[in-house]
Structure 1
Amino acid sequence: MQPTYLPWLGYFSLINSADKFVFLDNVKLEKSDWHVRNKIKSGRQELMLTCPVSTPKGRMIATIENTQFVSANPWRRKHLKSIAESYAKAPFFSSLFPLLDSIYNDESITFLAQMNIKIIRALMDYMNITTPTFIASELEGVSGVKDARLVSICNELECNNYLSPVGAQAYIEKESPGGALVKNDIEVFYQNFTHPKYPQVKGEFISHLSVIDCLFNIGPVETVKLINTYTGTHTHYQSLSV
């Protein structure tokens, strides 16, 4: 999966379901996508937090791994302030906020992928999710584009099953059921995750926010219980392709 900013619960469901998880960082950046933004709940409404990034050589050649933040923009302080104001009264604020504060104030983090992966791994540790993670750009011997690259990554990590979000089916199976993965004897499964409801600080429940909303409100132990409870049996590619 591409390393996204403050991912939602389903992202961690995917990580928790896998034996090995790969951050696909050496792919094209989409400035309007979840690579650079995500939502929290502020009062009774959702609030979008967006990271300003620089693409001096143009968006067409910018990848997640080589994209840097706009250094003059005080977005880190603004994001931390928004998070603090939104969750100061949440039950697990004093437990989680210092972890985020330490990452946002780390001036050595200047690249988008670096920040996103740091946050995701820190939240995994906070939830005691122990799935081994790898960074695609650091894997040797990986080649190809699109689903051929996925095949190469699976071969490098000696994996014969590939778990994907269902939203990637059209991408994987553009040419044939299961795509290049199945052609190379790698079975494809699609994630089944139903977003649960949980207590939130104010107002009616808002779904599909960053995982930190759930963590601030019910804590790491109960969040993982929700992830496990609402992660269904993964669907084999043939069940969706016929």
Structure 2
Amino acid sequence: MTVGIMQPYFMPYIGYFQLIKSVDKYVVYDDVNYIKGGWVSRNNLLINGEKQMFTIVLKGASPNKLFNEIEIGDDFKKLMKTLHMNYSKSSNFEETMALMEKIISFPNKQLPLFIANSFREILGYLSIDTEIIMSSNIQKDNTLKGKDKVLNICNILGADTYYNAIGGQELYSKKEFKEHNITLSFIETIIQPYAQMHNTNFVPGLSIIDVLMNNSKQNVNLLLDSFVLR
């Protein structure tokens, strides 16, 4: 049983989805404190051929609140207009826009639930069967912090393997996880260029939206499999 755990991010970069695809159960960490200044509500797209940031509006965002105490406050009109203006000639524009319409029309605006639904929509579109779980639905010891809480969740879910994004190398020790009979590995993306509208030089590290706009379902899955475990 392979498990991954991460805070909720809206339409994050490809590495986030590589993590989701590579595990059996993916936990949306919704009952920890919101991260101000992070990538929860923003990412990058190609706008007028250049890498530029988009941001969605949140209601009540504060580092003093848990993720599940914050709501989506965006009507997504600006984002959808931006996509129309900059991606209308992309090879997979129609399918991706239909997917985005389903994502933004989700009625529950609680931030983690809204984002978890976006993950399920994308996974369904790509025929990926990873189970999405909300951490607040797991009966765990909420007095624990950091790696101890992660280990507690892994044990409850019966994990023998835990995958984390490559940045987690500074936070987690393979030795400590091994002491709990869990193998810890870090996913490092192998960048695979793909054709992007208006660009002869590939721009990496954009939102998954850019990946979906410019690739077939089959190609997206190939890109999601392009990583190494450290």
Q: Normalising by structure 1, what TM-score?
A: 0.85
Match status 1:27 vs 2:38: no
Mapped partners of 2:48, 2:191: distance in 1: 21
1:15 to 17, 20, 44: 20
* Alignment-derived partner of residue 167 in structure 2: 167
CA contact (8 A) 1:19 1:132 kept: yes
* Alignment-derived partner of residue 105 in structure 2: 105
* 1:127 aligned partner, one-letter code: L
Mapped partners of 1:60, 1:178: distance in 2: 31
Match status 1:216 vs 2:213: yes
CA contact (8 A) 2:116 2:132 kept: no
Kindly indicate which of the two structures has a greater share of residues assigned to strand. Answer: 2
* 1:133 aligned partner, one-letter code: I
The offset of 1:140, in angstroms, is 1.8
Cα-to-partner distance string for 1:196-231 (whole Å, 9 max, x where unaligned): 100001123211001121111112111111222x22
What is the aligned-residue identity percentage? 23
In the comparison of the two structures, how many residue pairs are matched? 223
User: Structure 1 residues 219, 43: closer, same or farther in 2, change over 3 A?
Assistant: farther
Mapped partners of 2:178, 2:31: distance in 1: 23
User: Structure 1 residues 17, 170: closer, same or farther in 2, change over 3 A?
Assistant: same
Structure 1 residues 74-223: aligned runs within 5 Å: 74=75, 76-106=76-106, 108-143=107-142, 144-173=144-173, 178-179=175-176, 181-203=177-199, 204-223=201-220
* 1:89 aligned partner, one-letter code: K
Mapped partners of 2:216, 2:47: distance in 1: 18
* 2:72 aligned partner, one-letter code: F
Mapped partners of 1:42, 1:227: distance in 2: 23
Match status 1:47 vs 2:52: yes
* 1:153 aligned partner, one-letter code: I
Structure 1 residues 227-242: aligned runs within 5 Å: 227-228=224-225, 230-232=226-228, 234-235=229-230
Mapped partners of 2:132, 2:108: distance in 1: 19
The offset of 1:142, in angstroms, is 4.4
Where 2:85 maps in the other structure, the secondary structure is helix
Q: Normalising by structure 2, what TM-score?
A: 0.89
The offset of 1:184, in angstroms, is 2.1
For structure 1, which runs of at least 5 residues remain unmatched after alignment? 236-242
Cα-to-partner distance string for 1:119-145 (whole Å, 9 max, x where unaligned): 121111111111122111111234321
